[in-house]
Structure 1
């Protein structure tokens, strides 16, 4: 059965910079939507997992690091650290005491099957699913063309806090990938969307 939606959040321009991360909007947006969901949760960290889904990951950091390299400029060690999407998940796990599994995947498909698998056992009570794509650059737009997907016109991030079936409205995205996650967040009655608290279960 599809997991239930406990809370949801969509990123906006108010994402604050995250200590230890620079330049790219990727990590501030992930932190913003994750915090909006996790601050309302009473489930302990050892019963919580996180899954981050992004086709191209932190393309802002990747492109910047590449530009520095091609330009013969000094390498910035912070860019190397934050180039992996798990870096921000590690930050969130420390901030919210989460000791459940932390996974980053790149896919255009529906990631709910992975969440269902994580919730199928007895170890977790909830999984935070985060989807994010940054506005397309020339490089990622070319990759979108190869994949047959639509480039993002702007930075988009969404988070869905999901629990076992029956704990909230079933998570049934109308389409795959990030568009489906956004659609669920926008229609979730129990959502904390763009920082504003919606209805309560």
Structure 2
């Protein structure tokens, strides 16, 4: 048991795992490895539990994305472009909010629970579990895909962990 709400780890994934290269690009997201990292680890985790997408309607699966720094590479690109008097491309307005990649994952998999993005104030894992328990307790979600992601300071993809939490047993 993970927490008071009785959540179990139903599936999990990491990025990178042995043999991984950079995550594949994601259409609609540019310049940064943040969105590809989130998508890659989420797809891997959900695929381990469910195989193919989408999930059936009414699954009430939430997505909780936890990142202390968010998409560093995009933020730095926008800052430098504005500071240099340049024009920021429209895709940066879309992808500058982590909800956009979390929503992308939810749409691709047909997840119909809430999408929540958090910047942890303490332990990222504890904050994510607390949010997952709250979503389940309130009846907003049956399962929760929890994605913890941090982009490396040099703009390379970084590392991510995804766990699918809910009732039941691991497959």
For this structure pair, what is the TM-score category when the shorter chain's length is used for normalisation?
Answer: 0.7 to 0.9
Aligned residue in 2 for 1:55: 68
Q: Is the 8 A contact 2:22 2:157 kept in 1?
A: no
Deviation by residue 1:73-126 (Cα, 9 ceiling, x = unmatched)? 221111111010000011112111112100000003212111111122445321
For the pair 1:70 / 2:73, whether they are aligned, the reply is: no
> Could you state the TM-score of these two structures normalised by the residue count of structure 2?
0.81
* Counterpart selection for 1:9 from 6, 10, 13: 13
Q: Is the 8 A contact 1:45 1:96 kept in 2?
A: no
Residue 129 of structure 1: CA displacement? 0.2
Aligned residue in 2 for 1:32: 40
> Could you state the TM-score of these two structures normalised by the residue count of structure 1?
0.70
Matches within 5 A, 1:100-139: 100-107=113-120, 108-109=122-123, 110=126, 111-136=128-153
Aligned residue in 2 for 1:44: 56
For the pair 1:85 / 2:98, whether they are aligned, the reply is: yes
Q: Distance in 2 between the 1:60 and 1:154 partners?
A: 9
Q: Is the 8 A contact 2:33 2:157 kept in 1?
A: no
Q: Distance in 2 between the 1:160 and 1:115 partners?
A: 11
Gaps of 5+ in 2: none
Q: Distance in 2 between the 1:119 and 1:17 partners?
A: 32
**Would you say how many aligned residue pairs link Structure 1 and Structure 2?**
154
The list of structure 1 runs, each at least 4 consecutive aligned residues, that deviate by more than 4 angstroms after superposition, is: none
Gaps of 5+ in 1: 138-152, 169-189, 191-199
Aligned residue in 2 for 1:96: 109
Deviation by residue 1:149-191 (Cα, 9 ceiling, x = unmatched)? xxxx971111000013xx24xxxxxxxxxxxxxxxxxxxxx5x
